[in-house]
């Protein structure tokens, strides 16, 4: 007999670069003091360190939701900050995780929320990354494709000009490519009548093309780590993060993303109550695609580009927050 959903562990899920957009979480910023407090603390830290206001850039009134939000110096720390603040908001309202789940940048979010690395140290390290990438990595991008992994090897164009850097679900993959190859890659995807979306990122992360950043990232972005309050499941390792891994920061940026395999591992362990902390809500959709029909697991997104985040937050709290 499957376990009751109320007995399953609560898992906070954190997404990687590409989940960001202008005005993400704007209603939480306006109406939730705890969320606003953490956003302001992070904004001040990055302003003092790099002279950039994440709040002004992210919530620019002249920007529309649909405008590309792709300036890495802003989006990298902003995406971390929004997810961290949302996790703190959930905890303030009484929802505490039993474990955390991160993919790419989301692994760093999970490490900070868990207490493996302090908020200030991790946000500072995240804010320092974009200049390193700009110096050491060629321009490029990531493309999310609704297709099985085999499509990359089956196409001569894709095999020659891309790397398969993520398998998020049975029919959801991520390809990396250099900037000069992106038009040809997209033409090939259209020719094959595949649905795809270029993600708002400036480099081909998780691929061989960022290997030039390895030495700098190993030296500058690997802060000391503690055990943490909760385990952080890595979509790179398909296992909880081992804090003793010496090159962990580099491996998170370089290794392929295995969301499907990681969710399946958690399901094999009995399932979970997944809370998608990411701004886009995409993590929730990917998890649902992987769950078996008979799974006892439940999935809740907290944020969405379509708005309604306060109502969605209340729905999650009603389902998970302990009653007095």
pLDDT above 50 (res 253): yes
**Ordered domains of the chain (ranges, CATH):** 7-137+207-320 (3.40.366.10), 140-198 (3.30.70.250)
Residues with Cβ within 8 Å of 197's Cβ and at least 6 positions away in sequence, in order, are: 143, 144
Per-residue confidence at 217, pLDDT binned at 50, 70, 90? confident
Question: Catalytic amino acids?
Answer: 104
Query: pLDDT by residue (tens digit) across 62-120?
Result: 999 999 999 999 999 999 999 999 999 999 999 999 999 999 999 999 999 999 999 99
DSSP secondary structure of 179-243: GGGHHHHHHHHHHTT--EEE-S-SS-TTSGGGGGGHHHHHHHS-------SS-EEETTTTEE--T
Q: What is the pLDDT of residue 296?
A: 96
pLDDT above 70 (res 321): yes
The pTM of the full predicted model, rounded to 2 decimals, is 0.95
| Residue where the block lists tokens 């902003």 | 78
* Strand partners for 169: 172
Distance CA 317, CA 298 (A): 14
pLDDT above 50 (res 324): no
Sign, Cα dihedral of 247, 38, 95, 92: positive
What's the mean per-residue pLDDT of the chain? 94
Query: pLDDT by residue (tens digit) across 156-181?
Result: 999 999 999 999 999 999 999 999 99
What the block records as the tokens of 223 is 């802060």
């Amino acid at each position: 007999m499957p376990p009751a959903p109320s007995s399953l562990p609560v898992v906070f899920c954190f997404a990687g670069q590409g989940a960001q957009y202008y005005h993400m979480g704007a209603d939480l910023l306006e109406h939730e003091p705890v969320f606003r407090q953490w956003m302001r603390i992070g904004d001040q830290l990055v302003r003092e360190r790099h002279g950039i206001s994440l709040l002004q850039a992210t919530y620019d009134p002249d920007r529309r939701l649909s405008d590309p939000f792709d300036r890495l110096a802003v989006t990298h720390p902003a995406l971390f900050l929004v997810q961290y603040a949302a996790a703190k908001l959930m905890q303030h309202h009484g929802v505490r995780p039993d474990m955390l789940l991160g993919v790419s940048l989301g692994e760093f979010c999970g490490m900070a929320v868990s207490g493996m690395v302090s908020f200030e140290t991790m946000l500072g390290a995240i804010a320092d990354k974009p200049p390193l990438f700009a110096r050491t990595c060629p321009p490029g991008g990531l493309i999310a494709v609704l297709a099985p992994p085999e499509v990359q090897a089956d196409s001569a164009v894709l095999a020659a000009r891309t790397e398969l850097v993520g398998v998020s679900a049975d029919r959801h993959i991520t390809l990396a490519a250099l900037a000069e190859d992106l038009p040809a890659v997209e033409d090939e995807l259209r020719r094959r009548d595949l649905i795809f979306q270029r993600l708002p990122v400036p480099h081909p992360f998780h691929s061989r093309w960022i290997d030039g950043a390895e030495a700098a990232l190993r030296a500058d972005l690997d802060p000391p780590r503690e055990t943490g309050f909760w385990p952080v499941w890595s979509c790179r390792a398909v296992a909880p993060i081992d804090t003793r891994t010496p090159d962990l920061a580099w491996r998170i940026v370089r290794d392929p993303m295995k969301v499907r395999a990681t969710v399946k591992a958690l399901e094999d362990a009995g399932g979970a109550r997944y809370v998608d902390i990411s701004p886009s809500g995409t993590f929730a959709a990917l998890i649902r695609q992987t769950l078996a029909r008979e799974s006892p697991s439940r999935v809740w997104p907290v944020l969405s580009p379509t708005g309604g985040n306060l109502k969605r937050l209340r729905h999650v709290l009603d389902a998970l927050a302990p009653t007095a």
